């Protein structure tokens, strides 16, 4: 008998939001790139973003019934606890049928039961923590997962150090391609503003309030603004009053394109956004979402700020005047803007997907075939 590696199967569990799902897709892309015979199965929930995105991309998805516990009311906590045994049993059935050699949890409600079931079945497991401080599921799973992948150096203290690997957060292929294809052509100073896929009303209101303080820049600065659908019309009206050079959209499909042409970003501090900013080496003014679980967006932003890789305004301190001041300071100081962008790029981990897949392959217990 000799060991002959022909193919591998991986379950990626979790999702719910783009912050968990998009890094998972990046890992799946890399895993499938290694061999045409490799297979990936996603496990998520019917209510999560994965249920809409993954089938459209051609990925197979199995769903389990599970809900979050942290930050919920008593009734929702009780309902969530009641679902846990069933979700573990369902996960076990999915695992038995698919027969993966490794199970990777990427955070989100479905991650916990699936990774736990795999561990109880003796299958190698790994987890990926995108934020500077771990969510409740990963904090528990980290006690036994074979590999723990973290996006920030600061996160290592939360886990058993011998099993932690600082990989960075995987980003979609388009962002990596754009890094090599940046245009050097002359263009106006471009400011990119966005919240998330649904927009960010707090950011939108601050930007509208900042416009009077940016009047003298309107002839030399172009703005691209993703507002979300709810705020689209009134934000467009605010720009129209000022006659500014602006592209306003509720949602930008090709975010990599606008990242490439942007000189400065104003955005939230979610883990995926941070990974994309640093992969492309962009300067940013970060406005962390104030209600993020465990205040993790503030911690994400601070990790960049202390390395000179971004500036931060907490929403409690956010006014039109303060935002305009930050924008103007960076606009008028190109050397400082360049320094922030360079420090951002130093933090980037464009090979995160490759490293994660390499480390997952290391813990696979290969079957021996003749």
Q: Tell me what pLDDT residue 17 has.
A: 83
Q: How crowded is residue 99: how many other Cβ atoms within 10 Å of its Cβ?
A: 12
pTM above 0.85?
A: no
Residue 248 is assigned to a structural domain of this protein: yes
| Contact criterion met (CB below 8 Å) for 88 and 116 | yes
Asked if residue 189 and residue 80 are part of one domain, the reply reads: no
Residue 130 is assigned to a structural domain of this protein: yes
| Contact criterion met (CB below 8 Å) for 235 and 204 | yes
Rounded CA gap, 209 and 221, in Å? Answer: 17
Asked if residue 155 and residue 304 are part of one domain, the reply reads: no
Asked if residue 191 and residue 157 are part of one domain, the reply reads: no
Asked if residue 187 and residue 73 are part of one domain, the reply reads: no
In degrees, rounded to 5, the angle at the alpha carbon of residue 119 between the alpha carbons of residues 114 and 123 is 100
Owning domain of residue 56: 9-171+350-363
Alpha carbon of 32 to those of 81, 357, 364: distances in Å? Answer: 35, 10, 16
Asked if residue 56 and residue 160 are part of one domain, the reply reads: yes
Find tokens 């962008």 and name the residue: 341
Find tokens 């939108």 and name the residue: 204
Residue 333 is assigned to a structural domain of this protein: yes
Asked if residue 243 and residue 143 are part of one domain, the reply reads: no
Asked if residue 141 and residue 13 are part of one domain, the reply reads: yes
Q: Two tokens at 264?
A: 């400065």
pLDDT in tens, the chain (370 residues): 344 456 899 999 998 888 889 999 999 999 999 999 999 999 999 998 899 999 999 999 999 988 654 545 444 544 445 567 889 999 999 999 999 999 999 988 899 999 999 999 999 999 999 998 898 889 999 999 999 999 999 999 999 999 999 999 999 887 876 444 444 456 789 999 998 656 689 999 999 999 999 999 988 999 999 999 999 999 999 999 999 989 999 988 888 899 999 999 999 999 999 999 999 999 999 999 998 888 999 999 999 999 999 999 999 999 999 999 999 999 999 999 999 999 999 999 999 999 999 999 999 976 544 3
Residue 278 is assigned to a structural domain of this protein: yes
Rounded CA gap, 127 and 149, in Å? Answer: 6
Q: Tell me what pLDDT residue 36 has.
A: 93
Asked if residue 179 and residue 230 are part of one domain, the reply reads: yes
Rounded CA gap, 362 and 105, in Å? Answer: 16
Rounded CA gap, 152 and 159, in Å? Answer: 12
Alpha carbon of 193 to those of 125, 225, 237, 248, 250: distances in Å? Answer: 38, 5, 16, 10, 11
Domain count for the chain: 2
Q: Tell me what pLDDT residue 180 has.
A: 43
Residue 369 is assigned to a structural domain of this protein: no
Asked if residue 167 and residue 179 are part of one domain, the reply reads: no
In degrees, rounded to 5, the angle at the alpha carbon of residue 288 between the alpha carbons of residues 286 and 293 is 150
Rounded CA gap, 185 and 197, in Å? Answer: 29
Q: Taking the CA of residue 183 as centre, how many other CA atoms within 13 Å lie in the half-sphere pointing to its CB?
A: 12
CATH of the domain at 50: 3.40.50.2000
Asked if residue 245 and residue 164 are part of one domain, the reply reads: no
Residues 6-26: b if buried by 16+ CB within 10 A, e if exposed: eebbbbbbbbbbbbbbbbbbb
Asked if residue 48 and residue 137 are part of one domain, the reply reads: yes
Dihedral sign for Cα 143, 350, 100, 1, please.
negative
Residue 368 is assigned to a structural domain of this protein: no
Asked if residue 237 and residue 93 are part of one domain, the reply reads: no
φ, ψ for residue 326 (rounded to 5)?
-65, -45
Q: Tell me what pLDDT residue 150 has.
A: 97
Q: Which residues contact 56 (CB under 8 A, 6 or more apart)?
A: none
| Contact criterion met (CB below 8 Å) for 350 and 176 | yes
Residue 1 is assigned to a structural domain of this protein: no
Residue 3 is assigned to a structural domain of this protein: no
Quote the radius of gyration of the chain (alpha carbons, Å): 22
């Amino acid at each position: 008998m000799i060991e002959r590696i022909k193919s591998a199967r991986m379950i990626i569990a979790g999702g719910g939001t783009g912050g968990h799902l998009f890094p998972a897709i990046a890992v799946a892309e890399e895993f499938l790139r290694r061999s045409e015979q490799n297979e990936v199965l996603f496990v998520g929930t019917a209510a999560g973003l994965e249920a809409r995105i993954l089938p459209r991309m051609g990925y197979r998805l199995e769903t389990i019934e599970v809900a979050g516990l942290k930050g919920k009311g008593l009734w929702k906590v009780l309902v969530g606890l009641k679902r846990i045994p069933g979700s573990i049993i369902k996960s076990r059935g999915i695992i038995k049928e698919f027969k993966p050699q490794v199970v990777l949890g990427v955070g989100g409600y479905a991650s916990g039961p699936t990774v736990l079931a795999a561990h109880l079945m003796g299958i190698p497991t790994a987890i990926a923590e995108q934020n500077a401080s771990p969510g409740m599921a990963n904090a528990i799973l980290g006690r036994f997962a074979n590999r723990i992948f973290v996006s920030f150096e600061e996160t290592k203290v939360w886990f058993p150090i011998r099993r932690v690997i600082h990989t960075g957060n995987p980003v979609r292929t388009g962002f990596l391609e754009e890094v090599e294809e940046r245009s050097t052509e002359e263009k106006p100073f471009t400011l990119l503003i966005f919240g998330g896929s649904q927009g960010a009303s707090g950011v939108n209101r601050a930007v509208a309030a900042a416009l009077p303080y940016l009047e003298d820049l309107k002839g030399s600065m172009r703005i691209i603004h993703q507002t979300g659908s709810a705020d689209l019309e009134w934000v467009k009206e605010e720009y129209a009053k000022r006659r500014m050079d602006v592209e306003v959209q509720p949602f930008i499909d090709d975010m990599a394109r606008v990242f490439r042409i942007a000189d400065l970003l104003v955005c939230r501090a979610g883990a995926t956004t941070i990974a994309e900013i640093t992969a492309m080496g962009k300067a940013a003014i970060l406005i962390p979402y104030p209600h993020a679980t465990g205040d993790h967006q503030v911690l994400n932003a601070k990790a960049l700020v202390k390395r000179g890789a971004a500036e931060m305004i907490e929403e409690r301190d956010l006014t039109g005047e303060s935002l305009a001041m930050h924008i103007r300071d960076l606009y008028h100081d190109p050397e400082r803007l360049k320094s922030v962008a360079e420090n951002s790029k130093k933090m980037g981990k464009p090979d995160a997907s490759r490293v994660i897949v390499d480390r997952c392959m290391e813990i696979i217990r290969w079957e021996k075939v003749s």
